[in-house]
Amino acid sequence: MAIRVNLDRLLVARRMSLSELADRVGVTAANLSILKNGRARAIRFTTLDALCRELNCQPGDLLSHTPGPMALDDEGDDEIRDAG
């Protein structure tokens, strides 16, 4: 996937553990680990908001895009389609 999660770098910079962040955000450490390791398929805006609040960062600090070949997900939805 071309979206990268930079959670590990932010945790090091903030000198915070994954379990401490999980407690502050109200998400399990296991789910944050999935996000940190790039295995997450989605993130709720409420979770993104809480992460940004606790890490004192912007969404762009947490997420980055690396251009490359487009890969289809399991459902085959590879883009947002117009409703009209």
Q: What is the mean pLDDT of the chain?
A: 87
Both tokens of 7, joined, read 């959670």
Task: Please state the rounded mean pLDDT for residues 57-74.
Answer: 82
> What are the tokens at 25?
């955000």
The pTM of this model reads 0.78
**Residue 49 predicted with pLDDT over 80:** yes
Quick check: 74 pLDDT over 80? no
Domains and CATH numbers, the chain: 3-65 (1.10.260.40)
3 state DSSP class of 64: strand
- For 16-37, the pLDDT digits (tens) are 999 999 999 999 999 999 999 9
Instruction: Report CA torsion sign: 79, 72, 31, 51.
Output: negative
pLDDT band at residue 71 using 50, 70 and 90 as cut-offs: low
* Residues 6, 63 contacting (CB under 8 angstroms): yes
